[in-house]
Every structure is written in structure tokens, then in C-alpha cells.
Structure 1
Amino acid sequence: MATYFYGVNIGAEDSTVTIATSTTGKDVEVAVNSSTNVATRDALEIAIEKLKVAIIRAPYPPL
């Protein structure tokens, strides 16, 4: 397994999301390490939903 990067630029269409094995260089990027506990699509969807909730609840910018 490997690490996969999902990336998209702000204002871009859904169809422009990039999936790659190295950084995408996009405005927003999520890295998924499928070598550890993200062995299934279901596990990935649950983790992404938790990230979404955390982003919604946190002030922006968070740091």
C-alpha cells in the first residue's frame, strides 16, 4: 500500500480533483496512508467525515 494525496483548488469543479501518489500542489490537499488503518473505502469515508466535522466546528484559521 502507499500514501495517496487528494487535492483540489478553491473554486474548481468536482471533476478537477486530483488523486496522486505524491503531493498534488493544490489549494486543499488530504493525504491518506493506506498502509496503516485505512484499508477500506468505508474506513476512509468515516475518517473524512470526522475531518469535515472538525473543520466545521473549528474557527478559521485554526492556528
Structure 2
Amino acid sequence: MDSSRAKEIIDSPQIIDVLHENNFVWIEGVKNNKAEVRLLNTDEKIVVPLNELNEVLVN
């Protein structure tokens, strides 16, 4: 994922599903090609490279 898309997801009024290593996450911030995310299954905050995030596309 690129930084502009991550920022769009943060600013979106809709809930957009995002995965990091098959875990659903909530993007809380973006800086220097990294994202601060919260793991939804444990509530843990981690910092990950943006290229490790994948948007779940719904048809």
C-alpha cells in the first residue's frame, strides 16, 4: 500500500478492511513509509512498513 492510500483510508468515513500478515488492523498514522497500526484481535499497537499492508477489496 502506498502512503496516499493509507491516508485516504484513515480519513474515510467508511470502515475499510486492511490486513497485515493475515491480521486485521486499524491504521492510526502514516510517516516515512511506515504505518502505526492497531491489531484488531489483540488491540496491540505496532509500526509496520506500508508495503506490508493490504486493503481487502470487496466486490
Same structural fold, with TM-score higher than 0.5 when normalized by the shorter chain: no
Question: TM-score range, shorter-chain basis?
Answer: under 0.3
| Bigger radius of gyration | 1
Q: By percentage of residues, which structure has more strand?
A: 2
Higher RCO structure (Cα 8 Å, ≥6 apart): 2
TM-score, with length taken from structure 1 = 0.23
